[in-house]
Amino acid sequence: MEQGGISKLTLQRLPTYLAYLQSLPNDGGGTVSASSIASALGLGEVQVRKDLAAVSVAGKPKVGYRIDELRRDLEAFLGCGTRNRAVLVGVGNLGLALLSYGGFADYGLDIVAAFDKKSALVGTTVDGKPVLSIEELPAFLRRERVSIGILAVPGSAAQTCLNALIQGGVKAVWNFAPVHLTAPKGVLVQRENMASSLALLSYHLKVEEQKDLT
Amino acid sequence: MEQGGISKLTLQRLPTYLAYLQSLPNDGGGTVSASSIASALGLGEVQVRKDLAAVSVAGKPKVGYRIDELRRDLEAFLGCGTRNRAVLVGVGNLGLALLSYGGFADYGLDIVAAFDKKSALVGTTVDGKPVLSIEELPAFLRRERVSIGILAVPGSAAQTCLNALIQGGVKAVWNFAPVHLTAPKGVLVQRENMASSLALLSYHLKVEEQKDLT
């Protein structure tokens, strides 16, 4: 899947490069080679060169990449520094965890309000963010500029909530519900599948245990 | 990457099939076709048949899958019902969110203790789970049976913490730090890359905005 001329897999690796560059000492003129980056991140050198060539011309043969330039190019490409206003739908355990997690602001995500249908939650605030009734969502989206929706509702409610977000003009949705959702062209639904990660870990342990027994 | 005869990609899809089956009414003898599953989950029918054939013989030509049998086979395969004891390392915002999130228990994950180096946190409890000093980790792992480690530390500390977990006998690690880590064969490090998801959403919005301007 291509997104504006860059592959989704390359795009997914870019934040890793940026995090690595941010971890390096930066005295103004330092350089780093593709092979150093590749070995630090467990990637192939050819892949690193190809990925970085898509976003930067900071690499020079036999010299490597200027750390400051490459970092600046990656930040500009990824839209670091731009702020995206988001709403969260579904204030259960996961929703609460996401609301309380302060780290998203580092990536330009500002959660401005949360929505739930449970009347006991409506009117409360979590980490300074108001919890509003799900019925207020359409009016809120008409009134406020919101570009990202975060879905932390049960799977059975996810498509309905997604539709409400899309009708309200939201173009990018981060879906934590364990279901596949359908959306029109131009709307990105990015699924975060923590259950799958846990299943992989659990299955790995089962296989390792069986090895120990034989 | 193959894991015990099944591909990692198939394995990652299995929890999605299971969540879908759990959402269906189950009156004891109901069936569901591969094409229904495929269209509900946005997958190809051939892929669904292939994935499910790897874990179950519940499918019959022209009849489909017995919902109860397929569900039972998936649960057994994924080790649902087995409990895995875990420790969490790094009690920052993300660590706190993970400790407070009650939903992991549904997937058999029991976080039994958390570890941090900040002395202000040591001795406190989060959602009933004790926060211990990172220096106590090796002794804790010698004493207690722990199979999963969860890393929620900054990238710069992640490899050191991973090494301590591995030395303590942990075979499966869920890494939330935005770095690639190296581990010996037999140890699975599953990376959860929320920053990458956010970067994809942010980039998508940038591209869509540029379209609107032209």
Give me the residue spans of the domains in chain B.
2-77, 84-196
Confidence of residue B4 (pLDDT cuts 50, 70, 90): low
The number of C-alpha atoms within 13 Å of A173 and in the hemisphere containing its C-beta is: 30
Q: Which CATH class is domain B2-77?
A: mainly alpha
Contact at 8 Å (CB) between A194 and A211?
no
CA of B133 vs chain A CAs: smallest distance (Å): 22
Average pLDDT, chain A: 87
Q: Which residues of B touch A148 (CB under 8 A)?
A: 201, 205
Closest chain B C-alpha to A61 CA, distance in angstroms: 26
pTM for this prediction: 0.76
Per-residue pLDDT reduced to its tens digit, A130-149: 999 999 999 999 999 999 99
Cα–Cα distance, B110 to A207 (Å, whole number) = 19
How many percent of chain A have pLDDT more than 90?
A: 49
Among the partner residues B14, B97, B102, nearest to A98 by beta-carbon distance: B97
Q: Which residues contact A11 (CB under 8 A, 6 or more apart)?
A: A3, B199, B200, B203
ipTM of the complex: 0.79
Question: Do the Cβ atoms of A154 and A177 come closer than 8 Å?
Answer: yes
B41 at the A interface (CB within 8 A)?
yes
- CA-CA-CA-CA dihedral for B105, B107, B113, B119, to nearest 10: -90
**A207 contacts in B (CB within 8 Å)?**
3-4
| pLDDT at position B2 | 46
Burial B103-137 (b: 16+ CB within 10 A, else e): bbeebbbebebbbbeeeebbeeebeebebbebeeb
CB A46 within 8 A of CB A35: no
C-alpha–C-alpha distance, residues A45 and A166, integer Å: 40
- CATH number given to A84-196: 3.40.50.720
Q: Read off the pLDDT of residues A100-131 as tens digits, 9 standing for 90 and up.
A: 877 787 778 899 999 999 999 999 999 899 99
Nearest to B107 by CA among B98, B94, B116: B98
pLDDT in tens, B178-209: 777 889 999 999 888 777 778 778 888 888 88
Whether A2-77 shares its CATH topology with A84-196 is answered no
pLDDT of A80 above 80: no
**Which residues 158-197 in chain A show a CB within 8 A of chain B?**
171-174, 178-180, 182, 186, 188, 190, 192-197
Q: Which of A12, A96, A206 sits opposite B200 (nearest CB)?
A: A12
Of A3, A16, A104, the CB nearest to B207: A3
Measure B61 CA to nearest chain A CA, in Å. 25
CA–CA distance, B148 with A156 (Å, rounded to integer): 30
Task: Test A102 with B93 for CB contact under 8 angstroms.
Answer: yes
Record: contact A78-B188, CB cut-off 8 A: no
pLDDT tens by residue, A145-178: 999 999 999 888 999 999 999 999 999 999 988 7
- The 3-state DSSP class for residue B12 equals helix
